[in-house]
Amino acid sequence: MSAAPPPAASIVITAYNAEHFIGASVRAALSQTCESIEVVVLDDGSSDRTGDICRAIDDPRLRYLRRPRIGRCRALNEAVTAARGTYIAINDADDLSFPHRVQYTLDFLRSHPEVAFAGTGFVVTEVFRDSITHAGTSLHSDHGPATTVWPSKQAVYRQNLFINSTLMYPKSIWQRIGGYDEGLTNSEDYDFQLRAMQFGQAALLPEKTVLWYTNPHGFFKQKSKREHQRTIGSIKRRAHRLLGLPLWLKLYHPAWLVAQRYPRIAEAINRVGSWSRRPVQNTAKARSP
């Protein structure tokens, strides 16, 4: 019997003690309108019921992998390595993907092979909901551009413009940059985006595709401000070199740190650098997503 063909896209979820979220997240991922998908859940050494909940979901498209505690970046790399899809859709364990998410972004990526990764708009909630249909009462205003935006390297260098759970990219991009940097303790998604822009453009699509939970106990919230700033500085120093950015941008992050203490300096920096926030036009022929 011949093996089943690989899916068009793999939705990748890494989870650590996510029993309150993982069932809803996996069910939403499996409810995609795109039929050619798989959902890869890598359990990063959870000590709660995360594994039991995943194993109880009876769907051949779900692949549950259990590892000892290996950390976020290595867990992502092992999950993407195991993924069989041509495209990878990242889905944090406490966020819910809308049913059209994969097909919408997949259509765009297939028609724009010059794109290294694409993100989308999103909808914010401060209260976790166990399904998309029950989400309505606690949603904030929608977030996303009115039309597709093509951020420049400089714009992405200045600021992370993408929510990780909306990100989708060809697996070949992950392979070309050597995967996620396992030496990082946070902001691995931002580092991934900057390194990926060596090999293609970034695109921010207008459609909202994810219900993004601002989890006060999430992984990022547990990191100290000092540790986060130190990591961002390291990421930006490497990105400046890899992307061949203008010399003045090398000073942007140190100046930004100073500006946190002196608002007037922040205003001056924003005026000087406002040009780099302007989206650039796609160099290829534009097509509707």
Quick: pLDDT tens for 194-226: 999 999 999 999 999 999 998 776 554 555 778
What average pLDDT does this structure show over 106-130?
Answer: 94
- Does residue 130 lie within any of the structural domains? yes
The predicted model scores a pTM of 0.85
Q: Are strands 87-90 and 168-170 parallel, antiparallel or unpaired?
A: antiparallel
- Residue 155 pLDDT grade (very low, low, confident, very high; cuts 50, 70, 90): very high
Determine the pLDDT at residue 272: 56
Domain that holds residue 208: 9-245
| CATH, residue 41 | 3.90.550.10
- Does residue 142 lie within any of the structural domains? yes
Q: 259 is written with which tokens?
A: 């500006």
- Cβ–Cβ < 8 Å for 12, 40: yes
Does residue 254 register a pLDDT over 90?
A: no
Residue 148's alpha-carbon distances to 121, 212, 279, in angstroms, are: 10, 20, 10
- Does residue 265 lie within any of the structural domains? no
* Residues β-bridged to residue 14: 42
- Does residue 73 lie within any of the structural domains? yes
Q: 40 is written with which tokens?
A: 């890869």
Distance CA 224, CA 247 (A): 29
Does residue 286 register a pLDDT over 50?
A: no
Domain count, the chain: 1
Distance CA 213, CA 210 (A): 9
- Does residue 213 lie within any of the structural domains? yes
Does residue 160 register a pLDDT over 70?
A: yes
- Does residue 163 lie within any of the structural domains? yes
Q: 183 is written with which tokens?
A: 């030496």
What's the pLDDT tens digit per position in 17-42? 999 999 999 999 999 999 999 999 99
- Does residue 268 lie within any of the structural domains? no
Determine the pLDDT at residue 263: 61
